[in-house]
């Protein structure tokens, strides 16, 4: 059901333009934010740079700026700007663009939170735009602290309208996603916190990747996926404070969907303080998934559904993360005390013979007027 054929302008994102807008936004936030603020523990700006490089020759550079700002004691704003600058080409692009191709994605989001006693209500929106894909999300959330802060119950709902363009044609398709979650966070002891959550999502509409091709009767063709996907996620996390300023973090996520794709994700990490200024962390994540029920390495005859989308193939992956956060006592590079430098390096391996290295560097700067 192709909708709005050709009605949408192509919006070829120029990397320089987007990066310029990002820098202007960050500058604006840094210059003006401190002048109308109130002192708070949480008011800060995060400027991060992510680099992602994988064994298919794809490099993604992603600067992001996150801002948390308190307008009153009860009302706060979280805003985010980010860019993914994609260079070199993946297998699917290389078919038509053997010399490589550049692409970019820009994302902006804002969430307004307001406290009513022990209850916090949030409302937010996110918009992302890239070549051949646009996503618009509206979200609401509510959380409540109970038992002197020992229990937090939270829930939320989000609606997304996603609009993929069926490149190389100009047809725009539509996809509607409803997403609801609920979680409980419980302090068990003076050193233990657990959190369990469920998330249910329903996606309707066009869900086939226009770029990834399936082998149908020996010919590579765009896939055809069902128009309905129901997704269920259960997650559980535990944080345990150990002796010697060390903290243990274990998480498990179980996922199932109506395409019969099941996955398990298990993570374990340790963080340790070294003096007052350094927190070093290491973590491992083990992931496995089955393929969607209509997945096959190649198809013959005239199947109803077929896919060349690697995300729907069965595979396992391992992720190893190392991170250092440095918060010098007198502030970073002459900035305010509390400003911090974060460096992170990750390696990702999959059984699809696809590996990646991910680097992140960033600074966090607190702001806000000091209480009189």
Burial class (CB in 10 A: 0-12, 13-18, 19+), 29: buried
How many other C-beta atoms lie within 10 A of the C-beta of residue 371?
A: 7
Q: Residue 1 Cβ, how far from another protein at the closest point, in Å? A: 24
Segment contacting another protein by CB under 8 A, of 1-9, 136-144, 159-167, 217-225: 136-144
Which secondary structure element, helix H or strand E, spans residue 91, and what is its range? helix 91-94
State which of residues 87, 102, 247, 331 lies at the interface with another protein (CB under 8 A).
247
Q: Residue 234 Cβ, how far from another protein at the closest point, in Å? A: 4
| C-alpha 275 chain-centroid distance | 31
CA distances in angstroms from 246 to 40, 84, 97, 349, 352, listed in the order given: 26, 34, 50, 28, 35
Contact 320, 284 (CB under 8 A): yes
Task: Assess 56 for contact with another protein (CB under 8 A).
Answer: no
Q: Residue 57 Cβ, how far from another protein at the closest point, in Å? A: 15
User: Cis (ω within 30 of 0) for the bond into 168?
Assistant: yes
Q: Residue 291 Cβ, how far from another protein at the closest point, in Å? A: 8
- Subset of residues 65 to 124 that bind another protein, contact rule: CB under 8 A: 66, 73, 80, 117-118
What CA–CA distance (Å, rounded) separates 202 from 225?
Answer: 15
Q: Check the CA dihedral 202-130-44-236 and report its sign.
A: positive
Residues 6+ apart with CB under 8 A from 53: 59, 60, 356, 357, 358
State which of residues 205, 210, 362, 366 lies at the interface with another protein (CB under 8 A).
362
Segment contacting another protein by CB under 8 A, of 5-13, 214-222, 247-255, 298-306: 247-255
State which of residues 8, 102, 114, 144 lies at the interface with another protein (CB under 8 A).
144
- Subset of residues 196 to 235 that bind another protein, contact rule: CB under 8 A: 196-201, 231-235
- Subset of residues 272 to 331 that bind another protein, contact rule: CB under 8 A: 273, 279, 287, 289, 292, 310-313, 317, 323, 325
| DSSP assigned state of 292 | P
How many residues form the binding site for another protein (CB under 8 A)? Answer: 93
State which of residues 25, 26, 46, 166 lies at the interface with another protein (CB under 8 A).
46
State which of residues 265, 299, 308, 366 lies at the interface with another protein (CB under 8 A).
265
The smaller minimum CB distance to another protein, of residues 87 and 170, is found at 87
Q: What are the backbone angles phi and psi of residue 9, rounded to the nearest 5°?
A: -70, 155
- Subset of residues 159 to 198 that bind another protein, contact rule: CB under 8 A: 179, 181-191, 193, 195-198
The smaller minimum CB distance to another protein, of residues 153 and 215, is found at 153
């Amino acid at each position: 059901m192709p909708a709005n054929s050709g009605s949408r302008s192509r919006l070829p994102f120029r990397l320089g333009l987007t990066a310029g807008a990002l820098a202007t936004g960050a500058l604006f936030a840094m210059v003006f934010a401190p002048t109308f603020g109130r002192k708070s523990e949480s008011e800060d700006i995060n400027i991060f740079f992510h680099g992602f490089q994988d064994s298919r020759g794809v490099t993604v550079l992603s600067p992001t700026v996150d801002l948390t700002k308190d307008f009153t004691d009860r009302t706060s704003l979280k805003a985010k700007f980010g860019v993914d600058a994609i260079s070199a080409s993946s297998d699917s692009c290389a078919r038509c663009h053997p010399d490589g191709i550049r692409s970019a994605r820009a994302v902006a989001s804002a969430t307004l939170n307001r406290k009513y006693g022990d209850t916090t209500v949030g409302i937010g929106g996110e918009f992302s735009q890239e070549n051949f894909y646009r996503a618009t999300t509206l979200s609401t959330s509510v959380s409540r602290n109970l038992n002197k802060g020992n229990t937090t119950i939270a829930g939320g709902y989000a609606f997304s309208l996603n609009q993929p363009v069926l490149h190389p044609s100009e047809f725009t398709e539509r996809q509607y996603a409803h997403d609801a979650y609920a979680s409980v966070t419980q302090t068990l002891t003076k050193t233990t916190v657990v959190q369990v959550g469920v998330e249910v999502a329903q996606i309707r509409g066009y869900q086939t990747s226009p770029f990834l091709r399936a082998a149908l009767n020996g010919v590579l063709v765009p896939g055809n996926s069902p128009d309905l996907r129901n997704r269920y996620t259960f997650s559980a996390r535990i944080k345990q404070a150990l002796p010697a300023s060390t903290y243990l973090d274990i998480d498990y996520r179980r996922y199932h969907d109506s395409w019969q794709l099941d996955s398990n994700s298990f993570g374990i990490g340790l963080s340790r303080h070294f003096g007052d200024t350094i927190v070093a962390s290491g973590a491992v994540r083990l992931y496995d998934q089955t393929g969607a029920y209509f997945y096959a390495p190649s198809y013959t005859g005239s199947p109803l559904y077929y896919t060349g989308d690697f995300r729907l193939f069965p595979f396992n992956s391992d992720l190893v993360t190392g991170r250092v956060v440095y918060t010098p006592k007198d502030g970073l590079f002459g900035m305010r005390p509390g400003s911090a430098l974060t460096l992170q390096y990750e390696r990702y391996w999959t059984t699809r013979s696809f590996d990646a290295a991910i680097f992140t560097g960033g600074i966090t700067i607190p702001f806000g007027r000091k209480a009189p």
